[in-house]
Amino acid sequence: MKIVVYGLGLIGASVAASLKKAGHYVLGKNRSRESISYAIEHDMIDEEALSYEGADVVVLALPPRVTVRLLEEGAFPDGCIVMDICGVKSAPEKAAFSVPRRWRYVGTHPMAGKETSGIRSASDALFAGANFVMTHASQSDPAALETVRFLARDMGFGRIVECSATEHDRMIALTSQLCHVAANAYVTTPLSAGCAGFTGGSFQDMTRVAPVDERMWAELFCMNSEALCEEIVRLSRRLDEFAAAIGDRDEARICTLMREGKACYEEFFRRN
């Protein structure tokens, strides 16, 4: 299959490398010529894409607003599949289906990443065993969906989850975006400046995703503001319950709150 990957950052370059490893003919498109050269030298792509001509699949691995703009413009070959990997799905889907298209859209979200960014952190094994979310709507083409399932398996994903764009954005507000908000807020305490020598696994787990690209994540947060704000409010209320119980030195209430959290945690792993 001839595949053009537009955007050779951590995720885009990993998509390209894993698909090339699986035997596809992969072309890369990127604003930075340096990333194209790196991708060719490290066998992540076969060559640079000068256009989308002849592409069976175009993968948009770009910031949210750029992704939406390109989907609105719709300058893709007739019949090709266009899949974006944006961290929100309602806005790209709305742009893709805003008018009738001769190309076929499938929204996707690879649930994998690293604390570091850029092509030098990319790997053809980044997605091994990871989750892959793909969205569908009434306008979705069944054959395109099947092709994307096939490509997800070729990239090494372990579980493929299918849902609507709305459900994706509601769930991702909790499982990804809230985590980034909480981590970033957590490290702003004045105590963090002097905590060297006092940190362990808990601190590292809690802060791992704090230093991310603020511009990209701000776009994602704003595109999913309703669902994310709902989760932030819910977490804030729970923290207020803990603060009240701890302030009152009410050990029984603290234990109840912690048992409730433990039960939710255990139920999550039982289901997953």
Q: How far is CA 164 from the centre of its chain?
A: 15
pLDDT at 161 > cutoff 90? yes
Asked if residues 32 and 120 have their Cβ atoms less than 8 Å apart, the reply is no
166 falls in which pLDDT band (50, 70, 90)? very high
Domain ends where: 129, 163, 197?
163
Q: What was the pLDDT predicted at 97?
A: 97
Looking at the fold, whether 172 and 151 belong to one and the same domain comes out as no
Half-sphere exposure of 155 (CA within 13 A, CB side): 31
Could you tell me the residue range of the domain that residue 216 belongs to? 168-271
> How many domains are there within the chain?
2
Whether residue 138 contacts residue 105, with contact meaning beta carbons closer than 8 Å, is answered with no
Q: What pLDDT does residue 130 have?
A: 96
Same domain, 16 and 70: yes
pLDDT one-digit tens code per residue, 117-155: 899 999 999 999 999 999 999 999 999 999 999 999 999
Closest CA to 37 of 94, 101, 119: 119
Residue 171 CB burial class (10 angstroms; 0-12, 13-18, ≥19): middle
pTM of structure: 0.92
Same domain, 135 and 239: no
Last residue of a domain, one of 163, 198, 233: 163
In this structure, are 99 and 42 located in the same domain?
yes
8 and 139 assigned to the same domain:
yes
Q: Is 30 exposed, middle or buried (0-12, 13-18, 19+ CB in 10 A)?
A: buried
Residues forming beta bridges with residue 107, ordered by sequence position: 84, 135
For the segment 77-93, the average pLDDT, to the nearest whole number, is 97
- Give Cα 93 distance to the centre of its chain: 15
Angle between helices 10-21 and 142-154 in degrees, nearest 10: 90
Q: Are residues 200 and 149 in the same domain?
A: no
Cβ neighbours for 3, distance < 8 A, ≥ 6 positions apart: 16, 19, 24, 25, 26, 27, 55, 56, 57, 58, 59, 151
| pLDDT surpasses 80 at 68 | yes
Whether residue 259 sits in one domain with residue 173: yes
Does an H or E element contain 38, and which? helix 33-41
The pair of three-digit structure tokens given for residue 14, joined into one six-digit string: 């990993």
Q: Are residues 143 and 50 in the same domain?
A: yes
Tell me, yes or no, whether 65 and 80 share the same domain.
yes
Same domain, 151 and 181: no
CA-to-CA distance for 114 and 170, rounded, in angstroms? Answer: 23
In the chain the beta strands, taken as DSSP E runs, fall at 2-6, 25-29, 47-48, 57-60, 81-84, 104-111, 131-135, 159-163
Q: Give 188-215 pLDDT, tens digit per residue.
A: 999 988 888 999 999 999 999 898 889 9
When pLDDT is averaged across residues 75-104 and rounded to a whole number, the result is: 97
